[in-house]
Amino acid sequence: MRLAKNLRAFLRVGTVGALAYRADVIVWLLSTTMPLIMIAFFGAVTRDGAIGRYHEPQIVAYFLATFIIRSLTASWISWQINLDIRDGTLGSRLLLPVHPLVAYAAESIGGMPVRALGSVVIAGIMLALLGPSAVAHDPVIWILWCVSVAAAWLLSLLVSVTIGGLAFFVDSSAKVMDAWLAGLFVFSGYLIPVDLFPPRLRAVVDWLPFRYQIGLPVELMVGAHDRASAVGLVGRQLLFVVVLALVTFAVWRRGVARFAAYGG
Amino acid sequence: MPRYLRLFLAQLRISLLVSAQYRVDFLVDGAIEILWTSTALAPLIVVFASRDRIAGWSFGEALIVVGFFTLLQALLEGVLNPSFVAVAEHVRKGTLDYVLLLPADAQFLVSTGRFHVWRSVNVLTAAGIFVVGFRELGRAPTLASAAFGLTLFAVAAILMHSLWTLAMCTVFYAVKADQITDVLSATLDASRWPSSVFRGGTRLVLTFVVPLGLMTTVPARAFLGDEGVLLPCVALLEAVALALIARVVWRRAIARYTSASS
């Protein structure tokens, strides 16, 4: 009961925070140019014929979907955590009646309505431009899509919290995040649909966590998988969530034990 | 030696000394910059595995564009962003006074105030990309075309410096306005592809309004030896015009500045 009340408070903080800094959302939307740049690039490629299973409309649908998934699931909390740990603010967070990880997660969820609004607009544009054939039609796939978006969000949050938590041990956890982001861009399907990778690289990408942060929900959304393969992939995604959750808790348990809030 | 050249070298020396204290960063920052360069290379490698040309460009030619894009990134990460982040902080804290009081041009001082030497590793990456690109094409650039290409890159550097100065001036008017540079950096990402990738209106905007096409595609074509004189002239004119506008806006912005602390 008390936990529920606390969580509600954190959710409200997140929502109000996102509303107060709504200009940040616009900046974020404007600076998410990569999907558009990739539409231009692959658009030029498909002018001379399809690449893989992609003609121009499929490319546009794919990258508008990456835009939606990225804005629903991206997490910037690692920079905040890095700062909290290094300037000692984490001390006051540890005093709060919920675990800091739960608080970070609740704030992230609280920001969701504002982000979802942006995504709905993009989805509207997508349907208006390309018609309903651009997205999956099977309701089972859409149920799996919901699971997969939630898992992708959780995965991004866990990565962010773990890498942010590395600041307990090293100074440059922000640089680790920067390197992770570069990997995410290349291997997640954010810049290149993973089915265009050469087969051997693809096999590697299937076992890296990146694809499950962006690519998988995008692929489900544009109807790239049948039910059987979708279930398999979402299962693998959930496996990644569990493994990463274990890593996150291990890092934080050890980190908090080491933590000393100088001047906090 | 002219006074401003001496000043420039002094500023550069200070930044070098600061960077030399953080030698491990050379490896870390360098590796991260190279990773980010791979985000421009990976799509090309994947697509050219099954194609000979994209929008009229072969793999080798497209690599030259990415090379110039990488040089721009080095300029951005190594010079422009560090300096301009410092300006935003000066304005917020009110410490810009100390810069304005110095007996030299303030715009020059803030633009050369801080170099992130290690983040300029991308100059080397770009050189590597040029070598691979020309090897792919099976020829070397002539001395004249190399000189032409690099001159046009200098013009691009002026364009970029002016654009960033204009963006930076907004911090004098609004608190979090330095985020505009984030949007600008994100827009700059469009210059990683040859401008013929973009169609119709977008291409016109990217050539004349936000002159990204002039900043990478034009130097690349010059380097490859097949650029005419029209677009280089446009680039030069735009660079001069933007530099003048940036100068005027900067003067107005600092006239408006009231130090917050004193």
Q: What is the pLDDT of residues A222-238, one digit of tens each?
A: 999 999 999 999 999 99
For residue A101, pLDDT beyond 80: yes
Non-local (6+) Cβ contacts of B60 within 8 A are B133, B134, B135, B136, B137, B138
Predicted local confidence at residue B1, as pLDDT: 66
Q: Give the DSSP H or E segment for B54.
A: strand B53-54
pLDDT at A262 over 80: no
Amino acid at A87: D
Residues of A in Cβ contact (< 8 Å) with B186:
30-34
Percent of chain A surpassing pLDDT 70:
98
The whole-angstrom separation of Cα A188 and Cα A216 is 8
Query: Is the pLDDT assigned to residue B144 strictly greater than 50?
Result: yes
Residue A51 backbone phi and psi in degrees, to 5 = -115, 125
Instruction: Inspect the interface and report whether the beta carbons of A33 and B32 lie closer than 8 Å.
Output: no
- The answer to whether B30 contacts chain A (CB < 8 Å) is no
DSSP secondary structure string, A83-119? HHHHHSTHHHHHTSSS-HHHHHHHHHHHTHHHHHHHH
pLDDT, residue A48, reads 84
Residue A6 has pLDDT above 80, yes or no: no
Chain A residues closer than 8 Å to B176 by CB: 23
Look at residue B261 and tell me whether its pLDDT is greater than 70.
no
Q: pLDDT class for B45, splitting at 50, 70, 90?
A: very high
What confidence tens digit (pLDDT) does each residue in B193-221 have?
A: 998 888 877 888 887 777 888 899 999 99
Q: Check B179 against A182: CB less than 8 A apart.
A: no
A33 interaction partners in chain B (CB closer than 8 Å): 186-187, 189-190
Q: How far is B10 from chain A (nearest CA, A)?
A: 29
pTM confidence score: 0.90
Question: Residue B55: its chain A contacts at CB < 8 A?
Answer: 44, 47
Query: Do residues B69 and B40 touch, judged by C-beta distance below 8 A?
Result: yes
Chain A interface disruption, residue of B24, B37, B46, most A CBs within 10 A: B46
pLDDT of residue A264: 43
Q: Which residues of A have a CB under 8 Å from any CB of B?
A: 23-24, 27, 30-34, 37-38, 40-45, 47-48, 51, 172, 175, 178-179, 182-183, 185-186, 191-192, 196-198
Distance (Å, whole) CA A95 – CA A106: 17
What's the full length of chain B, in residues? 262
In degrees rounded to 5, what are phi and psi of residue A38? Answer: -75, -30
**Model pLDDT for residues A147-172, shown as the tens digit of each residue:** 999 999 999 999 999 999 898 888 77
- pLDDT category, B17, cuts 50, 70, 90? confident
User: Using the beta-carbon criterion (under 8 Å), do B38 and A186 form an inter-chain contact?
Assistant: yes
Nearest CA in chain A to B35: A182
| Residues A199 and A123 sit within 8 Å (Cβ to Cβ) | no
Q: Which of B32, B70, B212 to mutate to test the interface with A (most CBs of A within 10 A)?
A: B32
Please write the tens of the pLDDT for every residue from A194-225.
Answer: 999 998 999 899 899 999 999 999 999 999 99
Would you call B35 an interface residue with chain A, using a CB distance cutoff of 8 Å?
A: yes
Name every chain B residue with its beta carbon within 8 A of the beta carbon of A66: none
User: How far, in Å, CA of A240 to CA of A204, rounded?
Assistant: 15
Alpha-carbon separation of residue B232 from A207, B68, B144, B215 (angstroms): 47, 15, 15, 10
Whether B242 has a pLDDT exceeding 80, the answer reads: yes
Q: Does pLDDT of B8 surpass 80?
A: yes
For residue A115, what are the contacts with CB-CB under 8 A and spacing of at least 6? A18, A25, A71, A72
Nearest CA in chain A to B32: A179
